[in-house]
Structure 1
Amino acid sequence: MLTLGPGHYIGVPAPVRVGRGRPLSLLCLPRVKGPSVSDIGRRLRQIRNARGKSLAVVAGLAGISPSYLSRLESGQRALDRRSLIVALAQALDVAPNEITSASLLATPGEPEEDRAVGAVRLALFAAGMGASQGRACGLAELDARANALLDKQRECDYATVGARLPDLINDLHTSLAVGKDEREILRLLVITHVQGTQAWLGDIGAGQDLAWQAATLAAAAAQDLNEPASLAISGFGTAFGLIGASGFDLANKVVADTDPGTGLGDDEREMSGMLTLTRSLIAASQGRHAERLAALDHAADLAAHTGEGNAFWFGFGPSNVGVWRMSVALEAGEHAEAARVAATVNPDALPSPTRRSAYWREYGRALARLPNHRNEAVLMLRRAERISPARVHRNPFMHSVLAELLARARDDAIGRELRGLAYRSGLLT
């Protein structure tokens, strides 16, 4: 779930309405093809030259050295932090997505997943229009199907999720229109669209447009319910959609508005923890280091009380907080800290393959930037790939990290592993 919006513009088509909720507009971002190894640096250099700005000027405005900017442009350093992307965009007087549009996107999915995206797109469009033509089903059947799909998503079985998701979306929205078991179906819609539709689209690299539409449908259902847990789940999805478009202030507001606090039940307490972790990522993206650390410490305190939980398939608990500490440290540019935290986390305690793949991927990202740790970095990334190829091949930051590693690759066994990984990620032909 940690991607940047690829679009050049924000369009506002017809509003979406679920049940009796008020309409919410859709954020539409176009999808473009994944990058080659040098795309990110080439695009950054093209924009700088078009602006007529020198390396020294842009670097000074962005708060980095000219030599570091030069290495970014040559692909020798990874542009894998939201805060740096935003700083460079401000220095160049462009929107962040002008830099990321050709670079921070995942590569296309496998054939069966690509085929499923079209069907999911139509199901989401029909739901947004109030024109779903699915089958009206009983609550027990819908509940069983939604739970099974979410289990498959956590297991990284993306082909099965893609095959089942269109019919489930259509049937959920059609059944809601019947008016029976309305609140229960609305709850299923919230969790399915955030933890199923939105998560699946992000993991297979389908772009931000459909992921945002899923988050919007979830938010509308949550507004109809007006229950703390559902509002928190939808708030998580909406916040990540906004983070993907560099809308950090808006994301922070959504997190604050939907945090259920710690005075309710265990499920709500775990959701409060997830939103607190989201707040830490936003703070890191904006360079607010004290707020970042305070949010992480608060989340750790909550996790100490909840233990290793899995409410709503989020997997909140001490081990997952450790993985988030790694991701947030990477966002803050603290690669040694991320590696230090990784050594304290037991990946076997993580509740799902998705979180274990995230652990090894973030560990590899951290080691890739540390001197004399290239071999270990590649091995960590290969562990992540074996668990979930998509979460490495199609993760936007991974393209930049792999490009940096390739720039220093040797003709040895690790170099061959790295080139194979880069090829499978679409970076080499």
Structure 2
Amino acid sequence: MIDALGKTLREIRKARGKSLAVIAGLAGISSSYLSRLESGERALDRRSLIVALAHALEVAPSGITGSALPIPREPDDNRALTEIRLTLLAVSIDEPRGAVQPIEHLQARVQSVLGAQNDAANDVVGAALPSLIRDLHTTANAHRHEPDVLRLLTLAHMQGTEAWLATIGAPMDLSWQAAMLARQAAERLAEPVSLAVGAYGTALGLLSAGEFDLASQTLDTVEFPLISVEDMQLAGSLALASSLVSAARKDQAERFAALEYAAELAERTGETNMLGFGFGPSNVAVWRMQGALEVGEHAEAAAIAETVNPAALTVRARQAVYWRERGRALARLPKKNDNAVMMLRRAECISPEHVHRHPFTRSTVAELVTKAKRDAVGRELRGLAYRAGMHV
């Protein structure tokens, strides 16, 4: 089975008329490793590696990842995605065409959407977002309850729109539009907390696009006093984002420094979920796992996973991420493929989208399928791959 990312990688290389040896050398890997990436025998599951290959092939990182993800979606997701695309287009020309709403009503709707996003109820989020976005922007344009509405816009676009689009595997340009709308609302408000929320979303968007230095720069500009538990939670979340950006930049010293700072704050806050970030000691550990995977330390990620109680994670979607990342880690360890499949199935049971539409996980599944036996676990794996729309 050839992974979609590997297939696209091979197609671009051949279209460029470049040999395995040339592209591998430019990307800093061996020819045999590149060959295994192209054939699906090895997962293309690190941002830094994708960026290195993109530079070697003289394409944008999205040239490898964007065209390699013909991800099937449920009809409801397709309808919601179309509606959100049209909504973002309308907002971009300042014609949201919603209704001016009382602030209490808007606050309740935003909290409902963020709660559904946290619970991995992606169908609920997709159905609710278009009208919510239109009404928020219409109310802001009418200068009604303006500071409160701008706070809601920042949060709704970052934790709602941007997060939902990333979860369902939407095109990167839409996620970026959402991140920019969050940032624009925060800049209009000019309050430290909203600016920090906007910076968080912007940095994650830049990270996804392979702009690691800009992502780091964006996070470095954020400053606000640590007065409340909410402040500490947000500062810790920014530090966690910084740790993943640092991992992608291969800056281990900064990665560990950011993680230690986040861990220190998490000890003070405990397990929380203000603003939908789900910050706390357990989530810090999940981010440690993600950073370890980014730098290729699969054994480290698997060892960290052993220390985490996923039930302590206050955001159900992060529980799905925990099981998914644990599965990705085990998939690269000797004689752990069966365990990896079971971990991925646990993630799928919580939130199918977090497995089916996550490019690194799809690449891992493709690698596992190439080694799967014709036994019960192999059937489980092929079923997962089939549900993700992969050819098995």
TM-score by length of 1: 0.88
Aligned to 1:256: 220
1:371-410 correspondence to structure 2 within 5 Å: 371-410=334-373
**Cα distance in 2 for residues equivalent to 1:136 and 1:222:** 20
2:257 matched residue in structure 1: 294
Give the % identical residues.
54
How far apart in 2 are the matches of 1:304 and 1:179? Answer: 40
For 1:371 and 1:427, locate their aligned partners in 2 and report how far apart those are by CA, in whole Å: 25
Offset at residue 259 of structure 1 (A):
4.2
Q: Deviations over 1:198-218 (max 9, x none)?
A: 111111122212211111111
The residue number in structure 2 matching 1:120 is 84
Q: 1:206 to 1:50 in 2, by over 3 A?
A: closer
Give the total of aligned pairs: 392
**Partner deviation per Cα, 1:265-285 (whole Å, 9 max, x = no partner):** 221221111111111111111
CA displacement, residues 102-151 of structure 1 (integer Å, 9 cap, x when unaligned): 32x47232111111111112222222211111111111111111111111
**How far, CA to CA, are the matches of 2:191 and 2:70 in structure 1?**
34
Residues in 2 aligned to 1:385 and 1:106: alpha-carbon distance in whole angstroms? 19
Q: CA deviation at 1:256?
A: 1.1
User: Hey, what's the Cα distance between the residues in 1 that align with 2:324 and 2:104?
Assistant: 37
Which of 2, 17, 39 in structure 2 is aligned with 1:74? 39
Paired residues of 1:108 and 1:206 also in contact (CA < 8 A): no
- Contiguous gaps of at least 5 residues in structure 1: 1-35
- Is the Cα–Cα contact under 8 Å of residues 393 and 424 in structure 1 kept in the other structure? yes
The structure 1 residue matched to 2:64, chosen from 99, 111, 122, is 99
Question: Which residue number corresponds to residue 359 of structure 1?
Answer: 322
Once the two structures are superposed, the pairs formed by residues 184-263 of structure 1 within 5 Å of their partners are: 184-260=148-224, 263=226
Does the aligned pair in 1 maintain the 2:77–2:123 contact within 8 Å? yes
Give the alignment's TM-score, normalised by structure 2: 0.96
Distance 1:101 1:117 in 2: 16
1:93 partner letter: E
Query: Going by fraction, where is helix more abundant, 1 or 2?
Result: 2
- AA of the residue aligned to 1:108: P
Report SS of the residue matched to 2:221.
helix
Distance 1:106 1:279, change over 3 A: farther
> Residues 364-386 of structure 1: CA distance to partner in whole angstroms, max 9, x if unpaired?
00000111000000000000000
In the alignment, the residues of structure 2 paired with residue 47 and residue 163 of structure 1 have an alpha-carbon distance, to the nearest angstrom, of: 37
Secondary structure in structure 2 of the residue aligned to 1:102: helix
Deviation at 1:293, TM superposition (A): 1.4
Match of 1:44 in 2: 9
Q: Structure 2: how far apart are the matches of 1:101 and 1:115?
A: 20
CA distance in 2, matches of 1:196, 1:227: 20
Q: Could you report, residue by residue, the CA deviation over 1:298-352 in whole angstroms, capped at 9, with x for unpaired residues?
A: 1111111111121200011100000000011000000000000000111010012
1:411 paired residue number: 374
Give the match for residue 31 of structure 1: none
Q: How much has 1:422 moved relative to structure 2?
A: 0.2
Matched residue type, 1:265: S
